[in-house]
Amino acid sequence: MTIKKNKKEKLLEILFLFFAFLSNILLVGIIIILFKESLPLFKEIKVLDFLLGRHWYPTYDPPEFGILPLILGSLWVTIGSLLVAVPLGLGAAIYISEIASTNLKEILKPAVEVLAGIPSVVLGFFGMVVIAPFLQNVFKLPTGLNALNASILLGIMAIPTITSISEDCISAVPRGFKEASYALGANRWETMIKVTVPAAFSGISSAVILGMGRAIGETMTVLMVAGGAAIIPHSFLQPVRTMTATIAAEMGETAIGSDHYFALFGIAVVLFILTLIFNIIADLVAQRFRKRIV
């Protein structure tokens, strides 16, 4: 009997080991393919020429594979989205955790999280039919499909991440800090701005970095509203082309095994490394936060 039981347990153990490793195996597999498929390009051109080249003309003869405009395009819309999402998202988090009544809080927090569930293509559509004409009229532009439009939409998409995580961190600030502040004659506003929010600062920064990761990886909305011009951006009112949009738009048109195909994989590698860096930073910051509060 005991032997049989042990066998069964062993089997279950292996099964769960498999589950535990499956996602990791997939991740490793994806990374290997990304790198493998991008390598042939670098027999043709230097890595630095790829990263810092100012011209992305993949279908010219001879083609040029400089992705600097794409990297900058991604960074511009990401930073722009943070300018939108951080004030709004953090403001919402502070309101929900510190000011709203319990009832209101129970409505608001799930409502903000629902925002995260809106498909990006729907937001992109909204950007095309509502925001684009608006920007076009206000700034007298030839097109409203530009970096600003993409920044606004990506900002809206990053708000739920920033609000939800920041709210958790602000709510987790020990009551003792607030009581100490009140006991010194601080009012609610001073306590919030000078004690509670700073105490949650590391958690809030990791929320912002995660929101940033979400924005830089987003594809569909930027493809629809960023304008798609692979030029080095000088203004938020210019059309830009991001790394993600480039891959999505061009992959279908590319011959497998061509330099263009390899270059798109190269872009994916760059994107992957950038997102990885964001996530690692967010993790480190969050760890520091936990250490300091406990």
Tell me the C-alpha to C-alpha distance, in Å, between residue 22 and each of 50, 63, 121, 201.
33, 39, 30, 35
CB of 44 to another protein, least distance (A): 53
Distance CA 279, CA 214 (A): 10
179 versus 253: smaller Cβ distance to another protein: 179
Distance CA 27, CA 210 (A): 19
Tell me the residue type at 186. A
Q: Looking at 23-88, which runs of residues are DSSP E strands?
A: 56-57, 64-65
149 versus 181: smaller Cβ distance to another protein: 181
Cis peptide before 63 (omega within 30 of 0): no
CB of 190 to another protein, least distance (A): 5
81 versus 205: smaller Cβ distance to another protein: 205
14 versus 294: smaller Cβ distance to another protein: 294
CB of 125 to another protein, least distance (A): 43
Distance CA 249, CA 257 (A): 17
Q: Pull the structure tokens for residue 58.
A: 């993949």
CB of 172 to another protein, least distance (A): 13
Residues that bind another protein (CB under 8 A): 102, 174, 176-187, 190, 194-195, 198-199, 292-293
CB of 174 to another protein, least distance (A): 7
Q: Which of 278, 275, 161, 151 is nearest to 222 (CA)?
A: 151
26 versus 193: smaller Cβ distance to another protein: 193
23 versus 187: smaller Cβ distance to another protein: 187
CB of 103 to another protein, least distance (A): 11
Tell me the residue type at 206. S
